[in-house]
Amino acid sequence: MKVLSLFFAVCVAVVLSGCATGRGSTEAPKIDPAAQAVSTYKIGVDDQLQVTVWQNPDLSVSVPVRPDGKITVPLIGDVMAGGKTPEEVAAEIKEKLQSYVRDPQVAVILTALRSHEYLSRVRVTGAVRTPVSIPYRQGMTVLDAVLAAGGTTEFAAPDRTELYREDKNGVTTPYAVRLDNVLQKGDLATNYPVQPGDVVTVPMRAF
């Protein structure tokens, strides 16, 4: 009898475990907080750069990236910036300046993102006051994007909101956002940080 009871208990545990797994597979996967940082930005044409050489103001310039991807720096001339990170450009400028300046300290700061204006936008669609396409800003969240769209309408189903994100392989993944909890209860568990190219969709409720 004890053996049969134990066998029955094991079977129940297996069935319950299977049910729990099935429910999890139907829900949108949660965003890994560690993966929220935006990929390292690559400089593009028309971006504005501030090149600063410490204690050498004559070598410090604010320059746009030309159509050929290059910028012009005093003393050393043209430097390729397109397709590189600010840190990589700073390292190349430092290397070239060493022929003229002893131990140059170079910083390159991106002061205006112009080349990626389209790709770096976040879009909000569906049952919001004003569907919008807004420029991405560091630290922006789903709530920021929805508020920029004027908030939800009276016909919205906010707890069925989805955040759509395309990965580097072109695969789009939806993430469930409990927007009603965010707006009404201050529950920020699904107020995910957004990334450039994200689309937030607030569906209409069924009548």
Output the pLDDT for position 207: 67
pLDDT at 21 exceeding the cut of 50: no
Q: For 154-165, write each residue's pLDDT tens digit.
A: 999 999 999 999
Q: For 72-91, write each residue's pLDDT tens digit.
A: 999 999 999 998 999 999 99
Encode the chain in three state secondary structure.
CHHHHHHHHHHHHHHHHHHHHHHHHHCCCCCCHHHCCCCCCCCCCCCEEEEEECCCHHHCEEEECCCCCEEEECCCEEEECCCCCHHHHHHHHHHHHCCCCCCCCEEEEEEECCCCCCCCEEEEEECECCCEEEECCCCCEHHHHHHHCCCECCCECHHHEEEEEECCCCCEEEEEECHHHHHHHCCCCCCCECCCCCEEEECECCC
- The chain-wide mean pLDDT, for the chain, equals 81
Q: Which CATH class is domain 48-112?
A: alpha beta
Q: For 32-49, write each residue's pLDDT tens digit.
A: 444 444 456 788 888 899
Mean pLDDT on 4-27:
38
Domain boundaries in the chain? 48-112, 119-202
CATH 3.10.560.10, domain 119-202, yes or no: yes
Output the pLDDT for position 39: 53
